[in-house]
């Protein structure tokens, strides 16, 4: 079960939680997708000719799993791990295939935000193969995501000690940046923002040097920049945060594409710091990034993993749309009525501004049904926002339906008082009904 106490976004735990080795070359989404196609074809052909219970076929399956994890295609990853799990374990405790599939499941669980079970897999992995710098780092990120900051710090420190031990192989230090970044996140979450930022900048410097030949085109640089931006945002140093987030968006787009939580999260973070600066050009830009982030998030499989972020984005859309824009809007309606509809010009502009958000909202609702995601009180917040967006776009009938769903879900919650939210929904629903 997901750890509710430690919600994380895709960019907050920036180790390469992957079986893939980190080389000094850059990344390109086109090259990654081309390589993925090779993995798919190879696995399909081997499964057809040799069957699944064959070592080469299972190795091909694990390569495909690794590629899927990197692309955040989590549902087919989970299905294939289930399919090969018993066969890999049949090779014996400590066998190459048994170790690889255990590692793959740990990485999948990390991406699914199932951090407790991910940690269990890493600890089991350690029992089998013993300690290593990479494993200590990954264990540290799992502890960090669970909010167990002292254990995380100990794990990251162990990773550095193993890297620097006499006789340690050079590859042990290949991802020192991930450990520095992990220590920075621990410091940040302990409230030491400046101390955390120092470690994070060290990590960024490590990766910029490592990938200098690739002109900075690597997702690990972008993940470091995201942590830089979040620290500066918390320190209210918005110009520095904006600069970091802008570069992160560009690098993620080049190395991972648009259809990934990494890019969606970076756009959301950039949108928030642009909005906070309260100038009209940045306000307009913020709305565009917020919309694109929402549209991306509502397109992913395993939608339940991202619902809290989707809810936060929709709440931003409502708040931003009902707060006066900064000065400088050239499209200021007068006091008259729209000739086409007869409605006040100001009301027409309000409808148009909220109509903008309806397509991703309705897509999300459709995909919730497709993926059969259980509806609970938390999802009630999403339906309340959906109702507000449709109400303020003039889609009153749909708004009434969404408010009714929100009330129904809020009433299933028994461990807290949601009477205020219920009353707000019922009041807005009555207003919407009277407009139809």
pLDDT greater than 70 at residue 342: yes
**DSSP character for 344?**
B
Give the residues across from 344 on adjacent strands.
337
Cβ neighbors of 213 (< 8 A, separation 6 or more) are 24, 25, 26
Give which of 293, 257, 258, 256 is closest to 274, Cα–Cα. 293
Tell me the average pLDDT across 19-40: 77
Global pTM value: 0.89
Q: Give me the pLDDT at residue 321, please.
A: 92
Residue 336 or 296, more confident? 296
pLDDT at residue 12 greater than cutoff 60:
no
Q: Are 136 and 162 in contact (CB under 8 A)?
A: yes
Task: Look at residue 349 and give its three-state secondary structure.
Answer: helix
Q: Is the pLDDT of residue 178 over 70?
A: yes
For 282-298, b/e burial (b = at least 16 CB within 10 A) is: bbeebbebbbbbbbbbb
- State how far the Cα of 289 lies from the Cα of 273, in Å rounded to an integer: 11
Question: Percent of the chain, pLDDT > 90?
Answer: 80
Q: Say what the pLDDT of residue 20 is.
A: 45
Residue 204 confidence (pLDDT) above 90: yes
Torsion of CA 167, 163, 262, 112, to 10 degrees: 90
Tally of CA atoms within 13 A in the half-sphere of 9 that contains its CB: 24
Note whether 138 and 106 are within 8 A (CB). yes
Averaged confidence pLDDT in the chain: 91
Residue 328 binned pLDDT confidence (cut-offs 50, 70, 90): confident
Lowest mean pLDDT among 14-18, 73-77, 249-253, 390-394: 14-18
Examine the pLDDT at 325 and tell me if it is beyond 90.
no
Please say if the pLDDT value at position 24 is more than 90.
no
What local confidence, expressed as pLDDT, does residue 11 receive? 57
Tell me the per-residue pLDDT of 118-171, one tens digit each, with 9 for 90 and over. 999 999 999 999 999 999 999 999 999 999 999 999 999 999 999 999 888 887
**51 pLDDT above the threshold of 90:** yes
High-pLDDT (> 70) share of the chain, %: 94
At 22, is the pLDDT very low, low, confident or very high (cuts 50, 70, 90)?
very low
Classify residue 139 as exposed, middle or buried by CB count within 10 Å of its CB (0-12, 13-18, 19+).
buried
List of domains in the chain? 7-186 (1.25.40.10)
Note the pLDDT of residue 348: 77
> Which pLDDT value is given to residue 2?
33
pLDDT of residue 251: 96
The whole-number average pLDDT for the span 189-212 is 96
Would you say 146 and 166 are in contact if contact means Cβ atoms under 8 Å apart?
no
pLDDT band of residue 10 (cuts 50, 70, 90) is low
Tens digits of residue pLDDT in 220-260: 999 999 999 999 999 999 999 999 999 999 999 999 999 99
d(CA 293, CA 310): 9
Looking at residue 3, its pLDDT comes to: 34
Does 300 have pLDDT greater than 80? yes
Q: State yes or no: pLDDT of 338 exceeds 90.
A: no
Report how far residue 259's alpha carbon sits from residue 292's, in angstroms, rounded to the nearest whole number.
10
Asked whether the predicted pLDDT for residue 14 surpasses 70, the reply is no
């Amino acid at each position: 079960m997901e750890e509710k106490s430690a919600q994380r976004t895709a960019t907050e735990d920036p180790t390469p939680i992957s079986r893939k080795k980190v080389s000094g070359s850059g990344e390109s989404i086109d090259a990654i997708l081309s390589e993925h196609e090779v993995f798919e074809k190879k696995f399909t052909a081997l499964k057809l000719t040799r069957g699944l219970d064959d070592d080469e076929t299972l190795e091909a399956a694990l390569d495909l799993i690794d590629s899927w994890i990197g692309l955040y295609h989590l549902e087919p990853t989970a299905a294939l791990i289930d399919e090969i799990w018993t066969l890999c374990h049949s090779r014996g405790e400590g066998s190459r295939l048994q170790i690889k599939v255990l590692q793959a499941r740990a990485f999948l669980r990390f991406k699914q935000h199932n951090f407790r079970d991910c940690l269990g897999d890493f600890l089991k992995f350690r029992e089998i193969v013993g300690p290593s710098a990479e494993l200590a780092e990954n264990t540290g990120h799992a502890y960090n995501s669970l909010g167990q900051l002292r254990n995380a710090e100990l794990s990251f420190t162990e990773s550095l000690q193993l890297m620097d031990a006499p006789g340690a192989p050079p590859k042990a230090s290949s991802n020192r940046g991930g450990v520095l970044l992990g220590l920075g996140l621990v410091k940040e979450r302990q409230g030491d923002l400046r101390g955390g930022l120092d470690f994070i900048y060290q990590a960024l410097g490590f990766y910029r040097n490592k990938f200098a030949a690739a002109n900075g085109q690597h997702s690990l640089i972008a993940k470091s920049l995201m942590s830089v931006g979040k620290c500066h945002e918390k320190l209210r140093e918005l110009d520095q945060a904006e600069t970091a987030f802008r570069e992160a968006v560009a690098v993620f787009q080049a190395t991972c594409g648009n259809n990934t939580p990494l890019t969606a999260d970076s756009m959301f973070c950039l949108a928030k710091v642009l909005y906070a600066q309260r100038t009209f050009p940045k306000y307009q830009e913020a709305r565009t990034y917020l919309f694109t982030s929402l549209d991306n998030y509502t397109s992913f499989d395993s939608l339940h993993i991202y619902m809290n972020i989707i809810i936060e984005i929709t709440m931003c859309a409502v708040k931003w749309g009902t707060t006066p824009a900064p000065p400088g809007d050239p499209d200021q309606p007068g006091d008259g009525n729209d000739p086409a509809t007869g409605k006040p010009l100001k009301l027409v502009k309000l409808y148009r501004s909220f109509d903008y958000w309806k397509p991703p909202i309705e897509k999300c609702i459709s995909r919730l049904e497709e993926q059969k995601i259980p509806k609970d009180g938390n999802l009630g917040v999403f339906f309340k926002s959906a109702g507000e967006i449709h109400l303020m776009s003039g889609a009153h009938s749909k708004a009434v339906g969404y408010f009714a769903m929100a009330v129904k879900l809020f009433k299933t919650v028994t461990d807290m008082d949601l009477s205020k939210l219920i009353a707000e929904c019922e009041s807005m629903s009555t207003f919407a009904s009277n407009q139809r």
